[in-house]
Amino acid sequence: MTPITIATVSNEDLDDSLDGLAEVLHATVLAGGSVNFILPFSMTDSRQFWQHKMFPIIRSGGRLLLIATVQGRIVGTGQLLLDMPPNQVHRCEISKLLVHPEFRKRGIARRLMTDLEGHATRLGRSLITLDTRTGDAAEPLYLSLGYKIAGTIPNFCRATDCDRMDATTYMYKDI
């Protein structure tokens, strides 16, 4: 099996990572991933999301970005939201945990989660939260990593490819 490398993306390397990050997000959305976007969703849309929405927050230190690579290709990513209000600096949030559909079922999401949790611990955070589409394939992964369900919200978001409304499940883990 080809080795998987997990790394933190530095501010200097963000621009060089753009195409790979855009490819993973684009493929995830096209495969039905509920990650805030609906079809049609182009590679241009994906690049603009990273460049204009994510990179400024990452550069400011508000988010930590990890990438998973296989033979130099970005095949997964995850973010740790760190910019919290003054009364919540003890916690952080997992966001945009994405694995390219061609590379799923190889333990990449689990490795990204473990590394994100490690960063949270080193940064002195004691609580991690996240949300996922209720019933999504990621839900059992989070449960297996010790996350607990805080609750669900029905009709939380529109499905990627149709007008159906999906519920979301909020989860948390004390670390």
> What secondary structure does DSSP assign to 105-167, as a single string?
SSSHHHHHHHHHHHHHHHTT--EEEEEEETT-THHHHHHHTT-EEEEEEEEEEE-SSSS-EEE
86-95 LR contacts (CB < 8 Å, sep 24+) = 90/124, 90/125, 90/126, 90/127, 91/125, 91/126, 91/127, 91/128, 91/129, 92/120, 92/123, 92/125, 92/127, 92/128, 92/129, 93/128, 93/129, 93/130, 94/128, 94/129, 94/130, 95/63, 95/130
CATH value at residue 25: 3.40.630.30
Residue 46: predicted pLDDT: 98
Q: 82-103 pLDDT, tens per residue?
A: 999 999 999 999 999 999 999 9
Regarding beta strands 127-133 and 165-174, do their DSSP bridges make them parallel or antiparallel, or are they unpaired?
antiparallel
Mean pLDDT computed over 55-83: 98
CA dist., res. 5 & res. 89, Å (int): 29
Give the contacts of 59 (CB within 8 A, at least 6 positions apart): 11, 14
Number of domains in the chain: 1
**Domain residues for 150?**
4-174
Alpha carbon distance 52, 6 (integer Å): 24
The answer, yes or no, to whether residue 1 has pLDDT greater than 80, is no
Tens digits of residue pLDDT in 107-163: 999 999 999 999 999 999 999 999 999 999 999 999 999 999 999 999 999 999 999
User: Once rounded to an integer, what is the mean pLDDT over residues 26-52?
Assistant: 97
Which tokens hold the place of 112? 């990204």
Q: What was the pLDDT predicted at 2?
A: 83
